[in-house]
Amino acid sequence: MKKEDKKQLIDSLAQEISARNYLYITDISGLNAEDTSKLRRLCFKKEVKLIVAKNTLLKRALEMQEGRDLSELFPTLKGASAIMLSDVNNAPAKLIREFRGNGQKPILKSAFVEECVYVGDDQLDALINVKSKNDLIGELVGLLQSPMQNVLSQLQSGGNTIHGLLKTLEEKAA
């Protein structure tokens, strides 16, 4: 491969990586053509971008990422590697779990999710349960609103009770 072609491929990889928020590095070696095709279709269905690339090119593309330190992923770039890119933090992890119903692959090598690096296939369950920042903020807002809503409903029901009591007293006095 010519140097210009490699440069163009690295730039294309870097652009794909920077366009998505979440990155998973997996090992899909050993999958036959049929299983690879099924995996690609499942990735397309779940809106996960699957890219197979040489480790050296992938490393250079990761080095080009601005604002994200992905250097902790470099040691996992050994053997056959494929990257899964997504805008949903746990979509690739759920996809891996779903696809593994058919076998042992793909294997999770590492992931960059919510500004944290996860290394090893044993982290798959943790990644499936990771909540996004928006989910956590939503839960926090819900927890903060709950006591206020209770106070407001108590005040409203108390007002109705007092109003009913005054109305009854007024009718008896008349």
Same domain, 21 and 62: yes
Domain region containing 113: 3-130
Same domain, 150 and 109: no
Same domain, 86 and 56: yes
Same domain, 14 and 85: yes
140 vs 106, more confident: 106
The enclosing domain of 116 has a CATH number of 3.30.70.1730
Please check whether residue 84 is in contact with residue 95, taking contact to mean a CB–CB distance below 8 angstroms. Answer: yes
User: Comparing C-alpha atoms, which of 42, 48, 45 is closest to residue 20?
Assistant: 48
Same domain, 24 and 110: yes
Same domain, 32 and 17: yes
Same domain, 116 and 160: no
The model's pLDDT over 53-100, given as tens digits with 9 standing for 90+, comes to 888 989 998 888 888 888 888 898 888 889 999 988 888 988 888 888
Same domain, 30 and 93: yes
Report the alpha-carbon angle 110-114-116, nearest 5.
50
Please check whether residue 45 is in contact with residue 99, taking contact to mean a CB–CB distance below 8 angstroms. Answer: no
Cα separations (Å) of 98 from 42, 53, 112, 144?
Answer: 9, 23, 20, 35
Q: How many domains does the chain have?
A: 2
What pTM was estimated for this model as a whole? Answer: 0.73
The model's pLDDT over 116-145, given as tens digits with 9 standing for 90+, comes to 888 888 888 888 887 767 777 887 887 777
- Is the pLDDT reported for residue 155 higher than 70? no
Alpha-carbon Rg for the chain in angstroms = 26
Same domain, 113 and 136: no
What integer is the mean pLDDT of 99-118? 84
User: Comparing C-alpha atoms, which of 64, 70, 87, 69 is closest to residue 25?
Assistant: 70
Same domain, 10 and 64: yes
Q: Please list, residue by residue across 38-65, b when 16 or more beta carbons sit within 10 angstroms of its beta carbon and e when fewer do.
A: ebeeebeebebbbbebeeebbbbbbeee
